[in-house]
């Protein structure tokens, strides 16, 4: 399991427009993006005590989160993901899910996961049983991804963040959602062993807030 360096900045819309122009000049767009962007829908999990939310707000350096995600409304490519963070390092493992399996997870019908061949599904099952982890909120947003080969750098601009706490509508791309953190944009930079100077300079914003924003936390406001 390889950990990658991660930086996250909360930026303004004006910042995003400026950064977009910089990144287009030095980096390549993600080939999987459509017209340079894609729509992401994530279903986040938490315990009844909101452990994931409280750990984020408390700044716990070692934490994990589970989510289910698909892109551009395509239900043929749904993924269960577990994101692990240790300080500024992060890693992610994933497993495919069918729409029927997602519906079962959302409804609490999870016995089938106990014997599944994929260890990530078995781990989610164990967490849902032992800590009562369950789907908590949906987050939608638009992402513009950029790639830079040296250092295996990936930069993303996320905006138009929307949410709903009605987790039952996760598989309906047309369901109603509401704005979360209106006007907030997020710059994320991820790399392996080193961050090239040209990228470090390109994403430099003196007034940006580092690591201050969580889409899941924004979806839960004004929770606990």
Q: Which residue, among 185, 212, 194, 169, has the nearest Cα to 43 in the 3D structure? A: 169
Quote the distance between the C-alpha of residue 49 and its chain's center: 21
pLDDT of residue 50: 95
Q: Cα 188 to chain center, whole Å?
A: 10
Q: Please write the tens of the pLDDT for every residue from 174-217.
A: 899 999 988 899 999 999 989 999 999 999 887 766 666 889 99
Backbone dihedral angles phi then psi of residue 146, each to the nearest 5 degrees: -130, 145
List, for residues 94-112, the tens digit of each pLDDT value: 999 999 999 999 999 999 9
Please state, in angstroms and as integers, the Cα–Cα distance from residue 168 to each residue in 91, 100, 165, 218, following that order: 28, 13, 9, 19
Q: How far is CA 147 from its chain centroid?
A: 17
Give the separation between CA 9 and CA 40, rounded to whole angstroms: 19
Q: What's the DSSP call for residue 180?
A: S
Domains, the chain, with CATH or none: 4-220 (3.20.100.30)
What's the pLDDT score for residue 209? 66
Q: Return the number of other C-beta atoms located less than 10 Å from residue 107's C-beta.
A: 11
pTM of the model: 0.92
The whole-number pLDDT of residue 24 equals 95
Judge residue 35's burial from the number of C-beta atoms within 10 Å of its C-beta, 0-12 exposed, 13-18 middle, 19 or more buried: exposed
DSSP character at residue 162 = E
What residues contact 41, with CB distance under 8 A and at least 6 apart? 69, 70, 71, 73, 138, 139, 140, 170, 173
Looking at residue 124, its pLDDT comes to: 98
Residue-wise pLDDT for 161-171, tens only, equals: 999 999 999 99
- What is the model's pLDDT at position 45? 98
Mean pLDDT of the chain: 92
């Amino acid at each position: 399991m390889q950990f990658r360096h991660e930086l996250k900045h909360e930026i303004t819309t004006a910042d995003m427009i400026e950064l977009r122009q910089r990144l287009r000049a030095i980096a390549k767009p993600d080939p999987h993006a459509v017209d340079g962007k894609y729509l992401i829908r994530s279903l986040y999990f938490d315990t009844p005590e909101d452990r994931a939310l409280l750990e984020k707000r408390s700044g716990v350096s070692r934490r994990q989160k589970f989510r289910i995600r698909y892109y551009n409304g395509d239900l043929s490519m749904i993924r269960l993901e577990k994101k692990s963070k240790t300080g500024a390092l992060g890693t992610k493992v994933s497993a495919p899910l069918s729409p029927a399996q997602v519906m079962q997870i959302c409804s609490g019908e999870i016995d089938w996961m106990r014997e599944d061949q994929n260890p990530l599904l078995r781990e989610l099952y164990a967490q849902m049983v032992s800590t009562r982890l369950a789907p908590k909120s949906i987050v939608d947003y638009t992402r513009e991804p950029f790639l830079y080969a040296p250092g295996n750098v990936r930069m993303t601009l996320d905006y138009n963040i929307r949410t709903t706490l009605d987790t039952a509508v996760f598989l309906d791309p047309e369901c109603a959602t509401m704005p979360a953190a209106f006007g907030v944009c997020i710059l994320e930079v991820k790399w392996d062993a080193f961050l090239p100077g040209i990228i470090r300079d390109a994403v430099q914003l003196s007034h940006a807030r580092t690591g201050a924003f969580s889409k899941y936390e924004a979806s839960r406001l004004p929770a606990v």
